[in-house]
Structure 1
Amino acid sequence: MSEIDWTDQLADREADVTVSAPEMIGRGFMTYERYEVSLRRDGEPPLLQRRDVLRASRVAAVIPIDLARDAVVLIRQFRLPAHLATGRGDMVEVVAGRVEADEAAVDAARRECIEEIGIAPDRLVELYSVLATPGFTDEQIIFFAGFVDSTVVPPRGGVADEDEDTQPFVVPIDAALAALASGEIANALLYSALQWLALNRGALQNVFNRAA
């Protein structure tokens, strides 16, 4: 029996779909829109759907790594939706923030590091991207490894005119990876970044050497 090649089956692909112009539902920090969708599959009658989408655009996320000290820099930040969902809104996170319309993702990654942990990475390497909640928002998160000297991280970060308050802290990689199994962290970006780190820890020097 021949081995099955699952490559195409396991890949995201374009849909045979017609999407209406958006209807504005609301606008605040982000835009909330409604669409009428006609989805076609394998000659069947079109499936008509109505879908609401929070237009959030792109986000740059960074896991700051100190190779010399085998450590990572994480942040603590209050998140109201997490507080409403679980009562634990004072979350542990990686650096992350929106990519501006006229900005490259790598430039946003550097800027967010300066804003949230108080230092710029010596090098940045783009790793992968994900759609965190594709059933609700178009937010695309682009992950980077940022290589830093953790000894110069200040005790506070954040941009005052954005009402942002972040508390950076340095933790050994072993301790960060152990947190994956503890059930005490819930931020999806942090989980994703730490899982990447667990898979690639042995090759971090090679990743560093790829950096521009």
Structure 2
Amino acid sequence: MAKGTSEAADVTPRRGRPRSVETTNAILESAYALMAATGLATTNIDAVARHSNVSKMTIYKWWPSREALLIDAFLHHAAQMLPLPPASSGTPLARARRHAAAYAEALQGEFGKVQLAVISECISKTGSAELFYARYLQFRRDALVEMIAAGQADGSISADAPAEDLYDAIYGSLFYRYVFGIAPITPAYARTLVDLVLRPKG
């Protein structure tokens, strides 16, 4: 995908001395590990500094808030667990099925719990999920919307609604079912949902 090959590195830069990739990864991986193991309540800057062996001063210099750090830690993990499907990996429809199925599977584990906790933290602290959208979701949503639009353009996807609405129908439905526990979410269900929404041609 043309927008960037390293989504994990797509964090807001701070002025001053360039970041060490090794140190950045240590901080992000520590923050995610703490969120997954002990929850967000105990995942503060002090705890992340101790776990990563990085000074609090460095963390505060690189992240404008605790919420931004938590989101970037989640982004870093998501980039490894749910990479955006490259154009070379199949048709837009096949890639949409594969990514939605992987997301449905990820929701069943710690990934889903951490995602929900981070969104809740953003809302409780700022009154909205805007920070989560700006730092994490927007990039991924734009990439997948572009992929759906490509399928509409080449004729493999018959649905003629705006690609943004089609994306929201798929991932909004999966997240809604997960949050409220309405029904089991499986990779097979996600693939079926993609076909229902995108209406593959032929």
Instruction: Normalising by structure 2, report the TM-score.
Output: 0.23
More helix by share: 2
Bigger CA radius of gyration: 1
Greater per-residue strand proportion: 1
Greater RCO (CA < 8 Å, at least 6 residues apart): 2
- Could you tell me the TM-score, scaled by structure 1's length? 0.22
